Amino acid sequence: MILRILSLLLAAAMLAGCSQSGAGSQLSPSPTEPSLLPPLPGTYAALGASETYGVGAVPHTNGYAYRLSSLLGATHFVDAGVPGTTIDAAYQGELTSALNARPSLCTVFFGVNDLRAGVTRQSFLLDLHDLVATLREARCRVLIVGLPDVSKLPAVTRQHISGVGSVVQSWNSGMSTIARQTHSRFLNLQPYGNEMASHPGLIASDGLHPSNSGHARLAQIVLNAVRSWHMWAGK
């Protein structure tokens, strides 16, 4: 993971250096550590999987991340979300897309596909820590979005799988710890999961992802968190 972080930092430093090539005949001394460009006010990047991409919403641009961007009044928005991905598979591409945008705010929403793929809690949390730490190195405010209790959603209850709720709670606890370690914020979506379970209209026809209404509700929940923690600098 450290090598991946270094490669991203080096790539960003090289891009910054290329923009200055030809400005003078003398070579500037190489910095001892690569540095990332400062964030741009009003820029929001969303990292994640299906929910972040907008699966369940029709069209997918009605997804929570797009709605949140509009509610924030973002001047630039990047949805790096990849449907079906795990955090490890998405790490390089999504993180690079986010860093290239120089966001002042990032939401990070992974976990459901990792659970389905059998990724261990320790492996997931290590990847999450590295990803968030890199965003924080770029001076981006980061909101880690926790997992809703998917054990109560139709797609899971139909499978009669036991113990999912306790696993989700354990993963969320780990995410909360990483938020504290990286000076980020953690949003607990357990109440949102309960709300989805008791209001079927918030769930898409696949029984797992939010519907248009579900994405709208999720966007409002994330917006409330961003505002309460003063995470959005605006334009």
pTM of this prediction?
A: 0.84
- Sorted by where each begins, the domain ranges of the chain are 43-228
pLDDT at position 226, please? 98
Average pLDDT score over the chain: 87
Query: Confidence class of residue 57 from pLDDT cuts 50, 70 and 90?
Result: very high
**Tokens coding 23:** 């400005």
Lowest mean pLDDT among 3-7, 68-72, 154-158, 174-178: 3-7
CB-CB contact of 47 with 95 (8 Å) = yes
Is pLDDT at 16 greater than 50 in this prediction? Answer: no
Whole-angstrom Cα distance, residue 110 to residue 81? 9
Is pLDDT at 115 greater than 60 in this prediction? Answer: yes
pLDDT at position 15, please? 38
Instruction: Report the CATH fold assignment for 43-228.
Output: Rossmann fold (3.40.50)
pLDDT at position 17, please? 39
Is pLDDT at 227 greater than 60 in this prediction? Answer: yes
Lowest mean pLDDT among 66-70, 90-94, 158-162: 158-162
Q: Could you tell me how many residues make up the chain?
A: 235
pLDDT at position 37, please? 85
Closest alpha carbon to 138 in 174, 91, 184: 184
Q: What is the pLDDT of residues 27-52, one digit of tens each?
A: 433 333 345 789 999 999 999 999 99
Angle between helices 121-137 and 87-101 (to 10 degrees): 10
